[in-house]
Amino acid sequence: MATSVRAEGITPGPFHDSRQVVAGIYFLEARDLDTALAMASTNPILHQGGGLEVRPIHSGGPTA
């Protein structure tokens, strides 16, 4: 259920290249996946050769 975000673009699925390590976790509150991807696309790490994975999580509250 992951979506990969890199400087080259957005692709469905997790990263297939696992040579790198997890350096941190961001929790974003967004109304939908498109909004979360737009927010992730502003991260400076993308311009330094890095990438992000956006994954949905559920806080246990109501869903609509």
pLDDT digit string, tens, across residues 3-58:
989 889 988 887 666 565 666 788 888 888 899 999 999 999 899 988 888 988 87
Which tokens belong to 9? 């673009």
Question: In the structure encoding, which two tokens stand for residue 28, read together?
Answer: 């974003």
Residue 2 identity (one-letter amino acid): A
Q: What is the pTM of this model?
A: 0.73
Q: Where are the alpha helices (DSSP H) in 1-64?
A: 33-40
Cα 12 off chain centre by? 11
